[in-house]
A and B are shown apart, each in its own frame.
Chain A
Amino acid sequence: MTSPQKNKRPSVLRELAKSKSGLVGVGLLILIAGLAIYSIMGLPSSLPLSWNNGDAWVLNPINVPPVWFAELQSNYAPTLNINLNSAWKLQAYSAGTYDIYVYSSSVNFTWNSNIYPQNVAFKASFEGQAASASITWMKPQGGSIVVSITQPNSNQIYEAQNSYFIAGAQAYVTNQTGKYFATLTKPQVISTLFGRNGPNILNSTVSEGKYSVLVQIVSNVPLKSLSGLLVVIGNAYGYMGTDYQGKPVDLGLLAGLPNALEVGFLVAIVSVVVGIIFGGLSGYLGARKDGVMQWVTLVVLALPALPFLVVMSYTVRLNLIIEVLLIAALTWPFYAIISRTVALSIKSQTFVEADKAMGIPSYRVFFSHFMPRLVPVTVAYTVLGIPGGILLAETLAFLGIAPANIITWGRILNDAFTNQAAVLGFWWWVVFPGLMIVLSAVPFVLIGFALERVIAPRVAAK
């Protein structure tokens, strides 16, 4: 009799750490999990609602490449979001029967690009009624353009093509050129704001240097929760550019990540659990029941996945859980076939016959003696099944089949497709969602293969 020694079991994690691909997979997985957590915690919960509402994104440039890409191109005009909140100064006057409140804020920014911005926009939000607002735009070489807005509305966006801006620009252009222009286009207004002073102001190069903007809002009543935003819209945005409505692609990808992972995980878990139990039982019961269950498995396996899902999705009100169940309804046969073969090999072993002779009930034999040996085999396949679930869900979203209340990468790609992004050269709109799908699949594939190497040989040896 040997002395009792500590029972050392090989740890799956330790084995995983031994394989390089497994380590890379775990690293990527941690990265993705971090992004997903950031997405859940850091993004506003109203984002999915405002996502497809174009008005929410008018302050962003449309169809522009990522900033880092524009910087490489040497014709980069940055997008500047200038917040006026902290700088409000209040001057109050009494004019006999009524009071006048003047809120003023002065900000500076430096424009170092030799490219004109796409647009300029101003927005103020407040509670109460404002009588007027004026924007005094002082250029680096001197001279100022005054844009006066009568009775500004809270939260309304005033852009360069707005009549108040045109009026201000008209006065300045007449002053510089000595000519009167009956109307000015948006590029001409922007030329006025950013061009070099002189008779050629409408066709000049960009005036680089320090700009000062004084914003004054005048009211007869005190304004509450006053805030203001001045945006210079450049020709590049964020890490991954924007789409046709100015929606930042990076934000969309980040917002879509938790849903993609959730669908992938749930699909893999549901289909593996159903597959193990169905396939395991099929192998365990054997004979005619096995035949019938195998027939069912093969019929489901033979169903063409996409057409089936498209048809099914129109018969139900789609939400995330129903989508998961629909996809899992098609993917479980893979696991059923694998676990049936494992179950058949277990069934032929003496200990199963022995259990039967011992009078251990069938269900107990199955759950206590088959399942523990089926589960390790299928763990690897669960991990490998996650990217499959993600891919199928995004494919459906591309076809327009996705729960309405979530942001999906498939939908972003679909938008890119319908807006001819590939033809028009908006590569960032196609490449990044595609890369994201790949990036979310790679860690699971790497870990899955590493796990398979750890777990499968042990099963094969038995």
Chain B
Amino acid sequence: MILSVRDLRVYFSSPRGQVKALDGVDLDVDRREIVGLAGESGCGKSTLALAISRLIFPPGKITGGKVSFDGRDVLSLSEEEFRREYRWKKIAMVFQGSMNGFTPVFTIGYQINEVLQIHGFEGDLQARVSELLRMVDLDPEIAIRYPHELSGGQKQRAFIAMALALDPPFLIADEPTTALDVVTQVSIMNLLKRLRKENGIAILLITHDLALLSEVVDRMYILYAGRMAETGTAEEIFREPMHPYTKGLIASIPTLQSTKIAGIEGFMPDLANLPPGCKFYPRCPYVMDVCKINEPELRNVKGDQRVACWLY
């Protein structure tokens, strides 16, 4: 297990009260595994990614739980220790909108160089930059370009190249293909698959695009209102989703045959003012009395599939 998250809680303090962005989340990523994390906007996907890389800043705070990397609790490390040993060396990250992840005033090559230098890379910097760019199917010429001279897809690839600079064993890809066209999306996904295969890198892929997820991931997690709703292998979940929320999500993937897109009624509850019991009950078509009082826990239902729902 390269990454294991246990009972992670991230709260944001706001004038309206405490916003529980993540409330007791468990997540595991194995070596060479691509794990998907899905859920609708605002469910806490990005917060989880940021919490794993210790990028939660005030007013946000990690109020509880444990993040272990290779068995070592990284939340207890000092910032300097974490920076030197983990940041980008072991945990690299491709951001939501990474095309804006480059500083506009420096060239791509300069910025990749900087990361290499800061982490004490020894060797031919220029050769390494070219190698990285080639690894993501970019022309090494790109190194002398400024970010604004590249297309969105090129920038995304360049950023992935930067993420791979220090050969990290683990990569968080937070919506890496948002705002890109479908053809580019597919090519980026293929790139991620190839990286896993060739570099043995483990990837946590975060997206709201379930169709895209089904193509690449081994296992997946469905997050709802800061809690895990369901987890299992991709095959299990897509063949037989159990949580009513997962069912709704999968049903809302448009197909060529459907004329009407099925959705889930209502909106995600206010995280500062959560209902008691199951957080999904106000929108659930199968709601029972018990759902309104007690919160269900993740329970093993079938094979590797675990669901937090009173139906099972």
Chain A interface residues toward B at CB < 8 A: 1, 4, 7, 286-288, 349-351, 353-361, 364, 368-369, 372-373, 462
Contact = CB atoms under 8 A, between A and B. Distances in A.
Contact of B93 (A1, A286, A357, A372): A357
Contact of B55 (A357, A361, A372): A357
Interface string B117-157: 01100000000000000000001010010100000000000
Contact of B83 (A1, A361, A462): A361
B55 A356 contact: yes
A156 B57 CA distance: 81
A78 B114 CA distance: 73
Given A1-B139, A359-B83, A364 B118 contact: yes
Interface string B71-88: 000000000000110111
A351 B118 contact: no
Contacts, number: 70
Summarize B's interface: helix, strand, loop or mixed.
loop
Contacts of B159: 354
Given A1-B139, A286-B57, A462-B104, A357 B98 contact: no
Summarize A's interface: helix, strand, loop or mixed.
helix
Nearest to B107: A7
Interface of B: 53, 55, 57-58, 83-84, 86-89, 91-93, 95-98, 100-106, 114-115, 118-119, 139, 141, 144, 146, 159, 162
Given A358-B87, A359-B87, A360-B118, A1 B55 contact: no
Contacts of B141: 1, 4
B36 to A, nearest CB: 21
19 contacts: A7-B146, A286-B57, A287-B57, A287-B58, A288-B58, A350-B96, A351-B104, A354-B93, A354-B95, A355-B103, A357-B55, A357-B88, A357-B95, A358-B87, A358-B118, A358-B162, A361-B118, A368-B106, A369-B105
A373 B55 contact: no
Contacts of A7: 146
A356 B118 CA distance: 12
A359 B101 contact: no
A1 B86 CA distance: 35
Contacts of B93: 354, 357
A308 B293 CA distance: 66
B102 to A, nearest CB: 6
B55 A353 contact: yes
Nearest to B118: A360
A370 to B, nearest CB: 10
Contacts of B115: 358-360
Contacts of B86: 359
Contact of A354 (B57, B83, B84, B98): B98
